[in-house]
Structure 1
Amino acid sequence: MKITALDTFLVPPRWVFLRVRTDAGITGWGEPVVEGRAETVRAAVAELSEYLIGRDPRHIEDHWQVLTRGGFYRGGPVLSSAVAGIDQALWDITGKASNLPVYALLGGPVRDKIRTYAWVGGDRPAEVADQARAQVEAGFTAVKMNGSAEMTAIDTPARTREVVDRVAAVRAAIGDTNDVAVDFHGRMSTAQARRVLPLLEPLLPMFVEEAVLPEHSAHLGALSRQTSVPLATGERLYSRWDFRDVLPSGIAVAQPDVSHAGGISEVRRIAAMAEAYDVALAPHCPLGPIALAASLQLGFAVPNLLIQEQSLGIHYHHGNDLLDYLVDTGPLRVEQGEVRRTRAAGLGIEIDEAAVERAAQQGHRWRNPVWRHPDGSFAEW
């Protein structure tokens, strides 16, 4: 079997889908994208495709090594996301050729269902209690919310208490039998995070995500020693080498993204590394159906999975949602906050190619917001 073509599709609301075709009539799908840099990743996929055409798609590890290490300049979100989407598609093809789901090729299932969480509150969180209550009533047992909008390096007591009050409102709304995770989104300085984290401890969040920016990961050790709040990070780390210094810092949850961190192959290795440090896995995935399907295949095979992010109803979606590009939505259907294991081959989903091709005619130009403080200076989004 040989690869004959790699085609990318820019599809709303902010995704890139990759179709890899073979001379055996088997097609694999991947989702290579950096949100806000979709066109750049498409260009990287096109460059990498020159190597792949005519080669056996089942040689996944060899292709991964060449695509990530075959150039003198390596790493970074664009290249690793391009490789991630290709890697997903190659696993999809290999599973279909073997008539096995990907998790079976990774050693078999370790669970029958995967717990997921729902987003509430948006980028500038508001009305989070009512939204969280609605998600619990819909069957979810966990929600995630942004902790704040933009914050200064050391913000006022009032702004600090607003963060705590919002989380407290959600805790009161959903009770102690459900979970709330809080995403700082890198919007707080180390000093501000140090101020807020102890105030959240009585509310027992499941974790606090990106308490500091990834470039300040060296401070995670000090933060983790200071607080009992479990710390999570990893959506902006792109390889096992990026995680190498973070895992021993005391974090509780690693959050690699299967569409950013080198695909199924690399996230499986990151999960194994995390296991050695007693760190759980909660893959980042505010993306489309292919990324979620790939994440779930990993989750069914990874012992240290905590929970899975999914993007149904997330605030980034306008006019298109997670299930719009599937022939059958069943494999990704969330019931009582969980997704059950499918036995379908490959990634376990069937992409509606006609819907993808129609959507690609529209495309998108999604860009993340650029925020500023009241004094006009740049603020972290």
Structure 2
Amino acid sequence: MPSIRSIETFAVPPRWVFVRVEADDGTVGWGEASLEGHAEAVIGAFEAFRDRFIGHDADRIEDIWQTGFRLGFYRGGPVLMSALSGLDQALWDLLGKRLGLPVWQLLGGCVRQKVPVYAWIGGDRPHDVATAARQRQDQGFGAVKMNATADMGWLDSPRSLDASIERLVAVRELGMDVGLDFHGRVHRSMARQLIRAVEPHRPLFVEEPVLSEHLEALAEVTRGSAVPIALGERLYSRWDFKPFLAGGLVDIIQPDLSHAGGISECRRIAAAAECHDVALAPHCPLGPLAFAACVQIAVTSINFAIQEMPIGIHYNFAEADLPTYVRNAEVFRVEQGMIAALDGPGLGVEIDEDRVREAASAGQMRWRNPAWRGPDGAVREW
């Protein structure tokens, strides 16, 4: 069996961390350990992984995952789990390429051939979001996600609800489905009012109505609402998701495959959600490898609902950023609101290694979350 010869990391623009694992038979696998604004910390975590896993059997993915998770003693959290996620993705990619099979085939085969997708839109006024939504329609999307609480204070005037409703209606009138992201920015009373106000307009889901650390507030806010409640981008393992599933607090979970343990762990999280009649919609405002990993889970999970696709004017990325480092960018084509299962070996994307190395060597990737402040100057959840 091939053993791991090298583990490399590359910080590349706009804000991504790519992971390259090479086996001693020359097979290479790629993954993504992007953690927005904290690339340096994640890259540092790979020092311990190199000490542990250089020379390890590259095919023993589960043993590597369990060793990486448990034997550092301190476990979980965004940094360590993002590093483990990128390594895990790369090992699955390597195995698939060595065997000439897509990862989804290694996971038992697909239950669907196409993956429904949505994309982010920005804009503070109804006209702005409608214009952005039309652009997404032209790109083949049937669903979008946008801010629900753009300028809303933690506790604000009931009049502030009107702007959120107007933006939602402007996009729904185009015949598109709309997810509303609250970002956990508002107090439970505002979240409760806003969910009640948008319910007649039938949003696709409401995301992070309150921060995930406030389980009791989440139960209060969502009680009696027919709007599907989604969260999970700030949860990093099946244990983090456990109380939300056991308490019946969510309708849709959104683990991020570059933060929540990669393909191995998110496969388990998806199965746990299925046991609780909860849908899966992985979070992914990241790069092409993270997105390709999400697709592997999407096509093999029966409770999958819809996938976030990381082409984002919200993040001021050029529309070409997603395929910048990928030779076969045509695999990301959106048609009638869906993309096809990725049929290539491994993750199904062909990385242009020369461009990755060139971009990383330039040393210009020091992305930080821009400050998000309200009209009063106070910092807001990003």
TM norm structure 2: 0.95
Q: Distance in 2 between matches of 1:217 and 1:323?
A: 38
* Structure 2: tracts of 5 or more residues without a match: none
Instruction: Evaluate the alpha carbon distance shift between residue 354 and residue 240 of structure 1 in structure 2; reply closer, same or farther with a 3 A threshold.
Output: same
Q: Residues 150 and 187 of structure 1 are in contact (CA less than 8 Å); yes or no, is this contact kept in structure 2?
A: no
Q: Deviations over 1:161-182 (max 9, x none)?
A: 111111111112x22xx31111
**Structure 2 counterpart of 1:251, one-letter code:** V
Amino acid at match of 2:282: P
Partner of 1:107: 108
CA distance in 2, matches of 1:126, 1:67: 49
* 1:94 alignment partner AA: L
Which letter maps to 2:242?
R
After TM superposition, give the deviation of residue 377 of structure 1 in Å.
3.3
1: distance between equivalents of 2:236 and 2:124?
A: 23
Deviations 1:32-73 (A, max 9, x none): 121000111011122222111001111011111110110221
Aligned counterparts of 1:197 and 1:84: Cα–Cα separation in 2: 33
CA distance in 2, matches of 1:328, 1:255: 27
The residue identity in structure 2 corresponding to 1:157 is P
CA offset at residue 129 of structure 1? 1.1
**Structure 1 pair 329/126, CA: closer, same or farther in 2 (3 Å)?**
same
In the alignment, what sits opposite 1:127? 128
SS of 2:180's equivalent in the other structure is strand
Structure 1 residue runs without a partner (length 5+): none
- C-alpha separation between the residues in 2 aligned to 1:21 and 1:336? 37
CA positional deviation for 1:157:
2.1
Residue number in structure 1 paired with 2:64? 63
Tell me the secondary structure at the aligned position of residue 286 of structure 2: coil
Alpha carbons 1:20, 1:29 under 8 Å: kept? yes
Other-structure match for 1:244? 242
SS class of match (2:240)? helix
Q: Deviations over 1:190-225 (max 9, x none)?
A: 111001001001110010111111211332222222
Residues in 2 aligned to 1:314 and 1:47: alpha-carbon distance in whole angstroms:
36
Q: Which moved more, 1:313-322 or 1:66-75?
A: 313-322
2:303 aligned residue: 304
Q: What stretches of structure 1 move > 6 A for 4+ residues in a row?
A: 123-126
Deviation of 1:249 (Å): 2.6
SS at 1:293 equivalent = helix
Structure 2 residue identity aligned to 1:161: D
| 272-281 or 182-191: bigger deviation | 182-191
Contact 1:151 1:379 in 2 (8 A): no
SS at match of 1:244: helix
50 and 109 in structure 1: CA distance in 2 versus 1, 3 angstrom threshold: same
Partner residue, 2:211? 213
State how 1:32-71 maps to structure 2 within 5 Å. 32-71=33-72
**Secondary structure at 2:260's aligned position in 1?**
coil
Within 5 A, what are the aligned runs for 1:71-150?
A: 71-121=72-122, 127-150=128-151
What is the letter of the counterpart of residue 263 of structure 1? G
Residue 353 of structure 1 and its aligned partner are, at CA, apart by 0.4
The one-letter code of the counterpart of 1:255 is: Q
Please give the per-residue CA displacement for 1:85-119, whole angstroms capped at 9, x wherever unaligned: 00000111111122211111111110010010121
By how many angstroms is 1:376 displaced? 4.0
CA contact (8 A) 1:149 1:187 kept: no
* More deviation, 291-300/243-252: 243-252
Q: 2:233 aligns with which of 229, 232, 235?
A: 235
Q: Distance in 2 between matches of 1:201 and 1:305?
A: 23
Q: Give distance in 1, aligned partners of 2:125 and 2:185.
A: 11
In structure 2, what residue type is equivalent to 1:302? Answer: S
- Shift of the alpha carbon at 1:2? 0.9
Q: Deviations over 1:12-43 (max 9, x none)?
A: 11101011111111000010121000111011
State the Cα distance separating 1:342 from its structure 2 match.
2.8
8 and 123 in structure 1: CA distance in 2 versus 1, 3 angstrom threshold: farther
Identity %: 53
Q: Secondary structure of 1:372's partner?
A: coil
Q: 1:92 to 1:171 in 2, by over 3 A?
A: same
User: Per-residue deviation at 1:331?
Assistant: 2.1
Distance of 1:299 and 1:62 partners within structure 2 = 24
- Contact 1:313-1:321 at 8 Å conserved across structures: no
Match of residue 201 from structure 2: 203
* Total equivalences in the alignment: 378
* Residue in structure 2 matched with residue 270 of structure 1 by the alignment: 269
Aligned residues of 2:372 and 2:379 also touching (Cα < 8 A): yes
Query: 2:274–2:303: 8 Å Cα contact kept in structure 1?
Result: yes
Number of the residue aligned with 1:257? 256
- Structure 1 position 154 matched with structure 2 position 160: no
Instruction: Indicate if the aligned counterparts of 2:139 and 2:334 stay in contact, CA closer than 8 A.
Output: no
RMSD: 1.7
Partners in 2 of 1:162 and 1:11 — Cα distance?
Answer: 37
**Which residue pairs with 1:346 in the alignment?**
346
Moved more, 333-342 or 208-217: 333-342
Residue 9 of structure 2 corresponds to 8
1:317 shift after superposition: 4.2
Distance across 2 between alignment mates of 1:123 and 1:350 = 37
* Equivalent of 1:223 in 221, 224, 234: 221
Cα distance change on mapping 1:155 and 1:9 into 2, 3 Å: same
Tell me how far 1:9 sits from its aligned partner: 0.7
Structure 1-normalised TM-score?
Answer: 0.95
